[in-house]
Structure 1
Amino acid sequence: MSDTKQSKNLARTMRTPSVTALGVGAMIGAGIFVLTGMAAGKAGPALILAFALNGVIALIVGACYAELATMMPEAGGAYVWAKPGLGPFFGFFAGWMSAFAQLIACSLYAAAFGSFTRQLVIELTAHRPPAFFATAMSVGVLALLLWINYRGSEHTGKLEVWITGLKVAILLIVVALGLSVLFQSNDRLSAFRPFFSQGLGGLMSAMGITFVAFEGYEIIVQSGEEVKKPGSTIPRAIFLSILVAMSLYILVAVVLLGAVTPPHGKTVAAYLGGLQELGLMEAAGQFVPRGKIILLIAGLASTASALNATIYGSSRIAYAMGRAGDLPSALARVHRTRKTPHLAIAAVGSLMVAMTLALPIEDIAASTNIMFLLVFLMVCTTVVRLRKHWPDRERPFRVPLSPWLPGVGITAGIVLSLWLVQVSRVAWAVAVVWIVLGGAVFYLKDRR
């Protein structure tokens, strides 16, 4: 029997630290390093509230994920749960959209990694590499992390713990230095007035574009077949990772808006918005010695860990859909010795490279948010439906105040996804094309 023939089971090797690191690694990635500057330009000081509200929504949706993941701890996440909860059609689309969301999230992280690498070379050598250098770095880090994922989930988890620890430590140092500058100011609150400088629309746009920053719990539930004691480990990892990420995002937003001095004639919001994905790095250089270089290194660690975690999640969705027959069955093959879905990893990796080369960063981010929000709607609805259809099924974790809390998650998802039309029409166009393509795949599969 060859090493690449199908095996029945993935290996249960991951514990709470590794699984939590997957979630934190995915959350404290592109959102804090790539999107913070963009979102500050849209919301101004209200960015702090945008992160807080997104964190609350994430806790609600994360609770829905925790209930379903402990009831059905399998690779595939929303795809596996929506089938019995909403039927085969919506079940297929939950997997189809979740896989695509994670694919384009990986493209976002890879593109950011390339941009940061090029900027770091400029800072260290005063030499400006050609634009294709960033693209080459993006593809290179994708190839490296695909290989690590192929080697096994235990290696993926250990790498995530180390990289996540590094970037969190750097961010805490930046926050401490920024707060010291802020507290030395005679008028600490002036930087935050007017709070809603860009209006309610700015707040909503910032929430919409940064919601992807809190999707790490989607990655956690993909570990259902590879984690020890999923009934307790998965809920614990979900809530720990959301709370860590939410706290860091709010602290970084406070420091970024309060400790940075913009060029004469510009507001902090306009300054940060103009810097785009390099906003945090450029601004932190004002109050952290060699801050830009330090933050670029942290950004590299951050985007690499988010990319590593999201490769893991997207390959498990492809594996689950192949196992169920909704995608080619070859994707369900598990390497005999590595115990990883090697063909699923190769397939999603190829698509990630293509998308990294095709889409600009802001449109990638908005497309990712739209797809995740639609998946979150289905997950929250599935919790309510399965409470009625399977009332006696064992649930190691239960969402409190159901159906009201899932209803809040559904409402928030609808409002934010519709608002993203204002941010990027290209993103909605990409989402619609992917949904139509999914409908065609489902129809052809059903006929066959």
Structure 2
Amino acid sequence: MQVQLETLSNLERRITIALPMTEIDAKVTERLKRAARSAKIQGFRPGKAPFKIVEANYGPQIREEVIGEQVQQSFYVAVAQEKQRIAGYPRFEAAQESADLENFKFSAVFEVFPEVVVGDLTSAEIEKPVTPVGDAQIEQTIEILRKQRTRFNYVDRAAAEGDRVIIDFKGSIDGVLFAGGSAENHAFVLGQGQMLADFEAGVTGLKEGETKSIEVAFPEDYHGKDVAGKTAVFEITVKNVSEAQLPAIDADFAKALGVADGDVEKMRAEISKNVAREVKRRLASRTKENVMQALLDATKIDLPKSLVELEVGRLMDQARQDLQQRGMNIKDMPFPAELFTAQAERRVALGLILSAVVEANKLEAKPEQVNAMIAEFADSYEHPEEVAKWYAESAERMEGPTSMVLEDNVVEFVLSQAKVVEKEVAFDALMGNNA
């Protein structure tokens, strides 16, 4: 086997391989002889046809199979011999016409992994968010849980902020009803911004059975372009006014949150534990994102196009599956690759950089770290031991927590090298609370 390696660009290579035709012919003949033992050819008993007839019937197909196998095998032997680290899949090409009849020649164009040199991290400034959690945050969380379980009770009075109203309405512009401007039995809570401010102001103060016409000015940037910047007249009829009633913090409330014996103190302890866990998770996620950005900023890297294309394909598949799960028909929906390119490039770059950091600094995940990560996952379940067993039963399942430990190890390493600046983040901002 003759091998010639060319450098086409920083990451692209072409390897040309010549395989002796005598070796290919010998393998074809060997396989034809095996096929002849059981070949079924009309006019002959199975396995009794003359070799030349077997060759005429099966030769072209078998030669094609042998050449295909030899191309694949010799390619990987050659790149190993040349110490090339292939990124993505090779593109095989037929070699140019040659007077050499003694060899079968072909070429393969492929990309190699780039050399990753992580930049100086000691000069990097990384923001590490912190959020204090105390009694006030626990009480706030309890209030949110109460609001999530709000019940609305009918009241015979004028609607006020915080009440749920059920209305019929018809909207018109210049005396003409417009699309989407009418509804029956429409329910919403006053004061939550579910409707335009002018609309809610017009409903406030009305009692069940009352009708009122109001003017509503749509903002210039309103999402409905047909009505944006216009003023509509709505005729509104109130059909129901209900007052919000939050559940008491008692045994029934505790049971609704999963505390079997209704012990309120146990409930508070459980909520405190869950809030602390969630705050820790979200802070760690933000810190990790800041660390990853610092690594990207510090490291200049050429990305193999083939790896980016593969990642784009994965992201497109994920997007399709997500939309399908939401019940959307995506059969004819276009998925332009450029929508996913930037994200794919970021993910490929981080994958290469993280691998380099782990290898250079011996940050491999230790078994005890992975087990601790799984234990942390399992702690939020009713039967933690079953969750731990589920992970341990499959090497594929273990990849998730192992990967997370690797990332955590990298985060800790980078933070130990860089200048860390703590920044307090408000509890509401971290948790995305509106309360």
Asked if Structure 1 and Structure 2 have the same fold, meaning a TM-score greater than 0.5 normalized by the shorter chain, the answer is no
More strand by share: 2
| TM-score for the superposition, normalised by structure 1 | 0.21
More helix by share: 1
Q: Higher relative CO (CA 8 A, sep ≥ 6), structure 1 or 2?
A: 1
Which has the greater radius of gyration?
2
